[in-house]
């Protein structure tokens, strides 16, 4: 299969999406009585999933069919306009900005499906024909949310998104007839991941204002950096050294798994900021922080295990060890309350060990 590389336009496209992810994540920084209210946590999810799915939809099209032609560039640039509309609509008062958010999301999905339709007319491809036909169903259902008010419009919106999510799974055999470039797909997901990590570093450092002799701020800064660099080490060493980039398939485990990878990274970055600010109930911060670590571990394990070289696949004992370690940290600190610095040390230890044992 011909090797493909990310274009400069794709990198620019990713930056616009990272701004959307950062804006959605900011919702998690609103606390009340030491916890993140369920209303805000649910709004984070409601915002995040459409952002992720819109990015995935265009990225999968680019992987299979993008030729860097002028008309395709214009489609990508047009999508960036809709991303900006959607990003401008992300707010704690999400209900007030719902219609502009929906316009942004539907605009993104329509432009992606139109590209599949155009490709199928030109080359009669089974994957393009399938996606260009059946993805309209989810778009149509989501569009019906315009006619409803209150919570029910979210039900309709997400019913359409669920249909959208299921369509590629149902059509897996047809999509396999036009296999993805696995190495290129991992590069695209890796590029967005490293930008998300970079944004996390910036957002965490933004609240750290060490004064002369402020050992707590300095220690927290160092530990936060160790956590993020260990995450980087584990993730990208697996991509570079352990994954069979020549494998043929649809890449569905990669794209669905990264929803949970990116959401857990966003939650983890938010929790580190809130722990430093001292705005959380101790038990709440333990449950949510180590819960995010568990989700990250499970999702990265799933994504990489299924694409590793057979000789590089991890023994089930590694899985048991890491889950037990997370549960141990969680259980101890639900009984014995400790300072956020101790939790940060444990996060640094966990991710350093995770990187070491899964990349060597």
| CA separation for the pair 350, 344 (Å, rounded) | 10
pLDDT at 118: 93
Task: State the chain's mean pLDDT as an integer.
Answer: 89
Residue 50, CA distances (Å) to 94, 184, 308 in order: 14, 23, 29
CB atoms within 10 A of CB 140: 12
pLDDT at 208: 66
pLDDT in tens, 279-298: 889 899 999 999 999 999 99
pLDDT at 245: 83
pLDDT in tens, 101-134: 999 999 999 999 999 999 999 989 999 999 999 9
Does the pLDDT value for residue 349 go beyond 80?
A: yes
Strand partners, 202: none
pLDDT in tens, 35-56: 999 989 998 998 999 999 999 9
User: What band does 316 get if pLDDT is binned at 50, 70 and 90?
Assistant: confident
CB atoms within 10 A of CB 222: 12
pLDDT in tens, 142-198: 999 999 988 899 999 999 999 999 999 999 999 999 988 888 899 999 999 998 888
| CA separation for the pair 344, 339 (Å, rounded) | 9
Does the pLDDT value for residue 212 go beyond 80?
A: no
Q: Are 94 and 41 in contact (CB under 8 A)?
A: no
| CA separation for the pair 271, 265 (Å, rounded) | 10
Does the pLDDT value for residue 223 go beyond 80?
A: yes
Furthest C-alpha separation in the chain: 67
Report percent pLDDT > 70 for the chain.
97
Q: Which two tokens stand for residue 131?
A: 């996606």
Residue reference for tokens 């315009």:
146
User: What band does 353 get if pLDDT is binned at 50, 70 and 90?
Assistant: very high
| CA separation for the pair 252, 303 (Å, rounded) | 9
Model's pTM, two decimal places? Answer: 0.92
Q: Are 88 and 100 in contact (CB under 8 A)?
A: yes
Does the pLDDT value for residue 213 go beyond 60?
A: no
pLDDT at 115: 95
């Amino acid at each position: 299969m011909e090797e493909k590389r990310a274009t400069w336009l794709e990198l620019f496209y990713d930056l616009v999406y990272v701004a959307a992810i950062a804006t959605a994540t900011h919702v998690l920084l609103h606390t009340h009585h030491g916890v993140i209210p369920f209303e805000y946590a649910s709004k984070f999810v409601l915002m995040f999933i459409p952002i992720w799915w819109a990015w995935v939809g265009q990225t999968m099209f680019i992987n299979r069919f993008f030729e860097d032609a002028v008309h395709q560039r214009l489609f990508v640039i047009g999508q960036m306009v809709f991303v900006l509309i959607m990003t401008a609509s992300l707010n704690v008062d999400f209900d007030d900005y719902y219609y502009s958010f929906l316009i942004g999301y539907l605009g993104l999905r329509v432009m992606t499906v139109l590209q599949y339709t155009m490709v199928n007319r030109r080359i009669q491809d089974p994957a393009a024909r399938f996606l260009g036909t059946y993805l309209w169903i989810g778009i149509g259902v989501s569009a019906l949310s315009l006619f409803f008010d209150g919570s029910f419009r979210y039900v309709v919106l997400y019913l359409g998104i669920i249909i959208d999510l299921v369509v590629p799974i149902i059509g897996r055999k047809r999509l396999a007839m036009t296999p993805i470039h696995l190495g290129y797909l991992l590069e695209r997901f890796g590029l967005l991941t490293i930008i998300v990590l970079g944004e996390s570093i910036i957002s965490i450092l933004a609240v750290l204002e060490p004064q002369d002799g402020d050992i707590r701020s300095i220690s927290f800064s160092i530990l936060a950096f160790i956590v993020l660099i260990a995450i980087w080490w584990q993730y990208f060493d697996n991509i570079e050294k352990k994954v069979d980039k020549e494998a043929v398939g649809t890449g569905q485990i990669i794209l669905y798994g990264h929803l949970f990878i990116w959401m857990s990274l966003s939650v983890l970055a938010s929790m580190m900021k809130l722990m430093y600010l001292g705005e959380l109930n101790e038990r709440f911060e333990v449950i949510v922080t180590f819960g995010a670590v568990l989700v990250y571990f499970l999702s990265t394990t799933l994504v990489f295990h299924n694409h590793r070289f057979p000789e590089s696949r991890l023994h089930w004992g590694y899985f048991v060890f890491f889950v037990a370690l997370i549960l141990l940290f969680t259980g101890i600190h639900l009984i014995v309350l400790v300072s956020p610095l101790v939790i940060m040390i444990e996060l640094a230890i966990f991710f350093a060990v995770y990187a070491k044992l899964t990349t060597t």
